[in-house]
Structure 1
């Protein structure tokens, strides 16, 4: 599918962390600027909860609050340098300072405040295109950022912008609705130069980050809303051994509801699948559900993630 860019294009990039803007949208940003359009970057966190690169670069073991804050400021400075490389003034950066590795918690505990911030950015910039993390991205900050952005756009009340989902962590799923940007040697070289500005990350993970950024930029067309429904099939079949620790979160235009797995309004259908009941059939807009365990883990990626509820 084709993406039309011109002088009227206003691109808002929702980036959970510093470096996401370069890895996922470095060439898109350049193409918008070359077409005469405007770009803003909504940076949700400063990427301060990033201990292993910080230990490596600073040759330290203990990282306290002051060290984390300083590391986040360093990473935010690097974003500004990367944007200049991409042809965007550093003033286009809109940092929010949300907790790194904490966007899911913020969604669950401060949903209305989080949506209000996103709505202010939509009102202020009036984007025609929004690039947002993919729902299926395995990093919990990325998938939660997708949910929040979709809910904010649905609540905005103006003409919905074109929404392009980008994937950083994980593998592409689904078919159809794909957008692949036309590239060039020059655009790609500038993108990689922008990535190199993220020196704090390149020091330890340069090979992995270059591999991520070296992929062709592909996006998934993303709808602004979903069909109404009154029940939904969940994609998971969790082991009975885990069910005592599992929780289910449902978020939509009415807010967020949370249950333990055993208390959730679930039933089995004729195929043995878990179906969530009790949903308001009159409510329009996207609905998302997440399966999770409230158990600390050193593994940063989601085991189950978020999914969007559809009819059937």
Structure 2
């Protein structure tokens, strides 16, 4: 199926509540970079916490690839900044700092296999055990970013479905794919109505100030989320494509 048709079909997935998405257990969100959790799953996290559901977040990369030419924010300082932004963001969504784990794999070089990937898969499994997870959410395997693809591969390594855990993928950058890109069969899964949490989600995204403002002003080529991208991701629905075993 072409990417344009797949993403259009994702916009028509049936609406569901959290119980229909994956049962009554906890949730694990896997974010390739600090900010993907807010962009792709901010409404999901806020709704889960409203209902008193346990949530764990695993951030895979160190986020140091966003501003590689900044003198004021060299890698170690940038990593610390981005982790602090993530903790502020998830606090807005209702999570505790203790429920977040940063794996600190190299941004733009997250491995899909090998010892580091296996260790990351084990960390995700442990997060699932910690909250008795019934579902795990990770970026879409066809997202046009190598770390997003790698995060999906790491979740596959974890073998969660063998333990009866539902796995879903959330597109973040999928809409930037060339429309003719082949991405597999028609999506199955659900949309979650997050309209009640749009303001909260927008504040969580904005907490990632290094990615949404000119906070880091000495790297003209540094990454910055465009307003149109933020607006797209902060709409009334979040889309979750089921990974079928």
Which residue of the partner structure matches residue 257 of structure 1?
A: none
Name the SS for the 1:132 alignment partner: strand
What is the rounded CA distance, in whole Å, between the counterparts of 2:25 and 2:243 in structure 1? 17
Which residue of the partner structure matches residue 101 of structure 2?
A: 94
Moved over 6 A (4+): none
Structure 2 spans left out of the alignment, 5+ residues = 1-13, 178-182, 214-223
Name the SS for the 2:174 alignment partner: coil
The structure number with the bigger radius of gyration is 1
What is the rounded CA distance, in whole Å, between the counterparts of 1:25 and 1:180 in structure 2? 11
* In the alignment, structure 1 residue 30 sits paired with structure 2 residue 46: yes
Number of matched pairs: 211
Structure 1 spans left out of the alignment, 5+ residues = 226-312
CA contact (8 A) 2:44 2:194 kept: no
Cα distance, 1:102 vs. partner? 1.3
TM-score (norm 1): 0.61
Name the SS for the 1:107 alignment partner: coil
Q: Does the C-alpha gap of structure 1 residues 112 and 36 become closer, same or farther in structure 2, counting only changes over 3 Å? A: closer
Q: Which one has a larger percent strand, Structure 1 or Structure 2? A: 1
Which residue of the partner structure matches residue 238 of structure 2?
A: 217
Cα distance, 1:115 vs. partner? 3.0
Higher relative contact order (CA closer than 8 Å, sequence separation 6+): 2
- C-alpha root-mean-square deviation of aligned residues, in Å? 2.5
Q: Which one has a larger percent helix, Structure 1 or Structure 2? A: 2
Q: Does the C-alpha gap of structure 1 residues 88 and 110 become closer, same or farther in structure 2, counting only changes over 3 Å? A: closer
Which residue of the partner structure matches residue 18 of structure 2?
A: 5
* In the alignment, structure 1 residue 128 sits paired with structure 2 residue 131: no
Which residue of the partner structure matches residue 211 of structure 2?
A: 201
Cα distance, 1:212 vs. partner? 4.1
TM-score (norm 2): 0.76
CA contact (8 A) 2:25 2:132 kept: no
Name the SS for the 2:155 alignment partner: helix
